[in-house]
């Protein structure tokens, strides 16, 4: 048993100071039991806890660390930016540079607004869609999580789902009366919703590849169907690419699947590990935003120079290197290894992967939506999680999260991971 005495001491104090001892619920290990370790440092694909234990990291700070932790280009960029000041609240050249890079990578984005989190991005995109269409209703899908936006915490994925209360306390029914929640990968339900709410639906927001109830893929033609029905009804198609943006391709899921949404939301990778969110789309929509138009949106630290510098450095690396080729190779290698280990251990799993995003469900049935994910054996997942942790492999502490690979993961890291899985799966 790995010793984590210092983490335990820190957690005891943290529990006195912060609800659940954490600043974000999923970190608390409530879905897998036990208590979280406290990280001392992170470098490349590895993290070290305050007790000196080392882990291969597949959480990658929930997606941002696509280049691994503390990559020199990002560290140097942030250090350089900090010398010039940490925040201005005044336009700065780094905002222009990152906006230019996002637009160059994502053709559907003519204009972009920076903010400070994925939640801010999705919340603002929805407000903009309502302002642009002058309609109130929004369609979202079960299992998709778009941050802790009041009106979207309805059958949300990620933390809310993990805790088994998909609807969050503290959200008045009136805040969600305009939110229509449908099953993912079910075109018929979308058609029915539009027929039942003619001329009232401002938009559809979705994770094009849901990564907040594990990972599952859109059925062939599903995204195209959503593009067609929104175009035909005057509703906006909003891709929440906070997780998939710059992860599945430089141009995100929309590049990978060849779809041009009306609005896109970003976060995680575009901040290079610092707090950044963004949303963007056609200028005719974006120009409704204050100060040009009537849709208000603002943020003291939006476009913060340190965050912009980190994001610029991250995107430059993704543009200038063969990162996505490397990520696909590593992802395929890990998938094959884990599948072989499960087969040898005679443990039925569904391993869903796209590029460097993956999830292992403990079920013998395919998982294409939230219902499928809910049928998986979460207790078995929890035992797998802890077994792997004891072997020095840190997976996401919840069945309803995605795993991530970075370009810093080595063949040796993958080999150690597969070897650990082969050992742990036999104990399940
Ligand atoms: P943030 O507000 O946490 O920056 O982004 C919210 C968000 C929006 N959209 C998608 C698709 C997301 O995945 C997220 C945040 N993802 C979770 C992990 N599944 C963040 C981890 C956490 O909540 O601590």
- Taking the centre of ligand 1 as the mean of its atom positions, its distance from the CA of residue 24, in whole angstroms, is 10
The Å distance, Cα 403 to ligand 1 centre, comes to 13
Q: Considering the domain boundaries, does residue 17 fall inside one? A: no
For the ranges 43-52, 173-182, 224-233, 279-288, which has the lowest average pLDDT? Answer: 173-182
Task: Report CA(195)–ligand 1 centroid distance (Å).
Answer: 31
End-to-end CA distance of the chain: 17
**Atom of ligand 1 at shortest range from CA of 144:** 11
- 376 in any annotated domain: no
CA of 160 to the centre of ligand 1 (A): 11
Classify residue 355: in a domain, yes or no. Answer: no
Ligand 1 atom nearest to CA at 27: 24
- What integer best gives the mean pLDDT of the chain? 95
Dump pLDDT digits (tens) for 213-228: 999 999 999 999 999 9
State the Cα–Cα distance between residues 242 and 240, nearest whole angstrom.
Answer: 6
Q: What is the DSSP string of 315-356?
A: HHHHHHS-HHHHHHHHHHHHHHHHHHHHHHHT---EEEEETT
Whether 254 maps to a domain, the answer reads yes
Cα 421 to its chain centre, rounded Å, is 24
CA distance 203 to 263: 10
Of ligand 1's atoms, which has the minimum distance to the CA of residue 159? 23
Residue 48 in domain: no
As given in the structure block, the two tokens for residue 143 are 């299992």
Q: Which of 31, 62, 159, 245 to probe ligand 1 with, by most ligand atoms within 8 A of CB?
A: 62
Full domain range(s) for residue 156: 84-320
Beta pairing partners, 239: 206, 264
Angle at 356 between CA 249 and CA 208, to 5 degrees: 55
Q: What is the spatial distance between Cα 323 and Cα 321, in angstroms, rounded to a whole number?
A: 5
- DSSP tag of 28: G
**Residues of 370-409 as b/e, b for ≥16 C-beta within 10 angstroms?**
bebbbebbbebbbbbbbbbbebebbbbbbbbbbbbbbbbb
Higher pLDDT, 174 or 164: 174
Instruction: Over range 345-364, report the average pLDDT.
Output: 98
Q: For residue 235, tell me if it sits in a domain.
A: yes
Count of the separate structural domains present in the chain: 1
| Whether the predicted pLDDT of 39 surpasses 90 | yes
Cβ count near 1 (within 10 Å): 4
pLDDT band for position 156 (50/70/90)?
low
Q: Using only the alpha carbons of the chain, give its radius of gyration.
A: 21
> Cβ(129)–Cβ(200) under 8 Å?
no
d(CA 45, CA 60): 8
The number of helix segments (H) and strand segments (E) in the chain equals 15, 14
The per-residue b/e assignment along 177-215, b for 16 or more CB within 10 angstroms, e otherwise, is: ebbbbbbbbbbeebeebbeebeebbbbbbbbbbbbbbbb
User: The domain spanning residue 151 has which CATH number?
Assistant: 3.40.640.10
Per residue in 233-265, is it b (16+ CB within 10 Å) or e — as a string? bebbbbbbbbbbbbbbbbbbbbbbbebbbbbbb
Q: Is the pLDDT of residue 261 over 50?
A: yes
Check pocket membership of 212 for ligand 1, CB cut-off 6 A: yes
Q: Which of 49, 240, 369, 377 is catalytic?
A: 240
Over residues 247-273, the mean pLDDT reads 98
Quick one: pLDDT at residue 83? Answer: 98
Q: Given a cut of 70, is residue 78 above it in pLDDT?
A: yes
Mutate to test the pocket of ligand 1, among 28, 267, 359, 395 (most ligand atoms within 8 A of CB): 267
Residue 64 lies in a domain: no
Active site annotation includes 316: no
Q: Write down the catalytic residue from 222, 262, 268, 394.
A: 268
Residue 31: inside a domain:
no
């Amino acid at each position: 048993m790995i010793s984590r005495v210092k983490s335990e001491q820190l957690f005891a104090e943290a529990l006195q100071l912060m609800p659940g001892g954490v600043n974000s619920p999923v970190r608390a290990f409530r879905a897998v039991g036990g208590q979280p370790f406290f990280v001392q440092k992170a470098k490349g694909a590895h993290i070290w806890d305050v007790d000196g234990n080392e882990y291969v990291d597949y959480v990658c700070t929930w997606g941002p660390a696509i280049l691994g932790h503390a990559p020199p280009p990002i560290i140097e960029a942030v250090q350089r930016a900090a010398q010039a000041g940490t925040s201005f609240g005044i336009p700065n050249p780094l905002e222009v540079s990152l906006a230019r890079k996002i637009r160059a990578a994502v053709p559907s984005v003519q204009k972009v607004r920076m903010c400070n989190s994925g939640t801010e991005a999705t919340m603002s995109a929805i407000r903009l869609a309502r302002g642009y269409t002058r309609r109130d209703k929004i369609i979202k899908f079960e299992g998709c999580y778009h941050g802790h936006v009041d009106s979207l915490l309805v059958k949300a994925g990620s933390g809310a789902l993990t805790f088994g209360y998909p609807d969050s306390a503290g959200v008045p029914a009136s805040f969600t009366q305009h939110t229509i929640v449908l099953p993912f990968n079910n075109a018929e339900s979308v058609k029915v919703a539009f027929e039942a709410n003619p001329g009232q639906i401002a938009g559809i927001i979705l994770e094009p590849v849901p990564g907040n109830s594990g990972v599952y893929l859109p059925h062939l033609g599903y995204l195209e169907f959503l593009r067609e029905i929104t175009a035909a009804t005057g509703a906006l198609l909003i891709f929440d690419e906070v997780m998939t943006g710059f992860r599945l391709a430089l141009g995100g899921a929309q590049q990978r699947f060849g779809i041009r949404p009306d609005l896109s939301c970003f976060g995680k990778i575009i901040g290079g590990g610092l707090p950044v969110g963004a949303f963007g789309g056609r200028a005719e929509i974006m120009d409704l935003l204050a100060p040009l138009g009537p849709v208000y949106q603002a943020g003291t630290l939006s476009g913060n120079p340190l965050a912009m510098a980190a994001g610029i450095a991250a995107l430059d690396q993704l543009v200038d290197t063969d990162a996505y080729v490397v990520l696909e190779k590593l992802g395929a290698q890990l998938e094959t290894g884990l599948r072989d280990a499960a087969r040898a251990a005679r443990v039925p799993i569904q391993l869903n992967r796209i590029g460097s995003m993956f999830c292992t469900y403990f079920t013998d049935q395919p998982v294409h939506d939230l219902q499928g994910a809910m049928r998986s054996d979460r207790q078995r997942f929890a035992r797998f999680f802890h077994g792997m942790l004891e072997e020095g492999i840190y997976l996401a502490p919840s069945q309803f999260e995605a795993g991530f690979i970075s370009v810093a993961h080595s063949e040796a890291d993958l080999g150690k991971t597969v070897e650990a899985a082969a050992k742990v799966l036999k104990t399940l």
